């Protein structure tokens, strides 16, 4: 299909201001300079902008209060059904691209295949397969447990064989796994280094769950591209981020939502401890120039797949401000994913990923709560 789209105003994903009375042309799956349209779409009174990009989700998690217990209790079939519904909710909320950083079974890969084949509705999915963790480490209940350099190398190769676009590792303990501390490192530097080697030689990138400072630093020295959470980063870690040109995805909404519900006691204590100190540490990283991505860790307790806007709002309340937070969720996240020439912007030749909202998202990012219209790859998903 060929479309001529008109709106009240447009934000292109990189500019500091809107253009008014814009006209955008779509031919098949791409944005083009001009075309003879099959249909004219009038988005009266709406703001047109790029589709959102959530760089940290878990399709197989359903935002339950005790996600570990539910994941272990559910059959594979039930987990698949939930993941399909999470994918649908995600695209309907205006998120057109996601990075799934840890899946039960091969669910993220399977959902991706069905979305790509247009059998089900969902966002563009980049996935990491099974997260690689030490035996009994964070996420062991849905991860690939690996111990030692050779086993970690094999684990990374297994994920690449499954079609992973990224490798995901667990450098520290975490909030949701019982019996582990977020501040203690788990996979060591040598184990993570071979995972990075395998990914990079396959021209893929590497993410790590890392909350404690020691694990963050081990991961950065090992060569990771993005650090997820980074709750206890220190000055040395910030310097390593800058030296290695690595990204921090702070996942602010995960602990923020977790403490709102009746979660297990061990989860509440760890999440509250994070919130007591993390914003101060994050501000130091932002002001030092560490690159920040937007990822909500959706699927964790009360962290819904259709509420990515909450992560953007939390980022906007830091020194990043509203505009930079919006860029983190569009053009900056596209760069994080290595897709800066394909998504995250409204420009000729880019994927036709577009959303429309009422109001002024630069002035008030919370208007993203109610996305009125969604297009991905030239197909309309919400009208």
Adjacency order of strands within the sheet including 205-210? 144-145, 132-133, 166-170, 205-210, 226-229, 247-249, 291-292
Burial pattern 332-355, b for ≥16 Cβ within 10 A else e, equals: bbbebbebbebbbbbeeebbbbbb
Q: What is the DSSP letter of 37?
A: -
Q: What does pTM read for this prediction?
A: 0.98
Q: Assign 3-state DSSP to the chain and report helix, strand, coil percentages, each to 5.
A: 35, 25, 40
Place of tokens 């060569």: 223
- pLDDT tens, residue by residue, 91-148: 999 999 999 999 999 999 999 999 999 999 999 999 999 999 999 999 999 999 999 9
| Angle 280-364-358 from CA coordinates, rounded to 5° | 150
Q: Rounded to 5 degrees, what are φ and ψ at 160?
A: -65, -40
Q: What is the pLDDT of residue 299?
A: 98
Quote the crossing angle between the two packed helices 265-288 and 235-244, to the nearest 10°: 60
Q: What percent of the chain has pLDDT over 70?
A: 100
- pLDDT tens, residue by residue, 38-58: 999 999 999 999 999 999 999
- pLDDT tens, residue by residue, 324-334: 999 999 999 99
Place of tokens 């799956």: 29
Q: Which CATH number fits domain 2-50+344-382: 3.40.640.10, 2.30.40.10, 1.10.10.60, 3.30.420.140?
A: 2.30.40.10
- Homologous superfamily (CATH) for 52-336: Metal-dependent hydrolases (3.20.20.140)
| Domain boundaries along the sequence of the chain | 2-50+344-382, 52-336
């Amino acid at each position: 299909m060929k479309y001529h789209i008109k709106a009240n105003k447009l934000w292109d994903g990189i500019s500091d201001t809107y253009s008014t009375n814009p006209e955008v042309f779509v031919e098949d799956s791409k944005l083009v300079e001009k075309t003879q349209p099959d249909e004219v779409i009038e988005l009266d009174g709406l703001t047109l902008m790029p589709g959102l990009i959530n760089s940290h989700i878990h399709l197989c998690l359903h935002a339950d209060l005790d996600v570990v217990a539910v994941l272990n209790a559910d059959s594979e079939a039930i987990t698949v059904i939930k993941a399909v519904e999470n994918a649908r909710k995600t695209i309907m909320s205006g998120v057109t691209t996601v990075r799934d950083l840890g899946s039960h079974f091969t669910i993220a890969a399977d959902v991706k295949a069905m979305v790509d084949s247009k059998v089900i509705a969902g966002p563009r999915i980049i996935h990491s397969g099974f997260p690689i963790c030490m035996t009994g480490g964070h996420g062991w209940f849905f991860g690939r447990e690996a111990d030692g350099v050779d086993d970690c190398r094999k684990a990374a190769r297994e994920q690449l064989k499954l079609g992973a676009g990224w490798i995901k590792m667990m450098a520290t303990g975490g909030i949701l796994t019982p019996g582990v501390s977020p501040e203690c490192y788990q996979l060591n530097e040598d184990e993570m280094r071979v995972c990075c080697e395998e990914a990079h030689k396959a021209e893929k990138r590497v993410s790590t769950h890392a909350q404690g400072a020691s694990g963050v630093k081990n991961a950065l020295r090992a060569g990771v591209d993005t650090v997820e959470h980074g709750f206890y980063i220190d000055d040395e870690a910030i310097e390593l981020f800058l030296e290695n040109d690595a990204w921090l995805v702070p996942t602010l909404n995960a602990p923020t939502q977790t403490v709102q519900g009746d979660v297990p006691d061990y989860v509440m204590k760890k999440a509250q401890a994070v919130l007591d100190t993390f914003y101060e540490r994050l501000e130091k990283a932002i002001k030092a120039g560490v690159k920040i991505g937007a990822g909500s860790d959706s699927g964790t307790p009360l962290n819904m797949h259709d509420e990515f806007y909450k992560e953007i709002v939390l980022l906007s309340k830091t020194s990043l401000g509203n505009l930079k937070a919006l860029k983190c969720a569009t053009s900056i996240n596209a760069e994080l994913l290595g897709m800066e020439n394909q998504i995250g912007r409204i420009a000729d030749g880019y994927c036709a990923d577009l959303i429309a909202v009422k109001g002024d998202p630069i002035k008030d990012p919370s208007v993203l709560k109610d996305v009125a219209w969604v297009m991905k790859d030239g197909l309309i998903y919400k009208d």
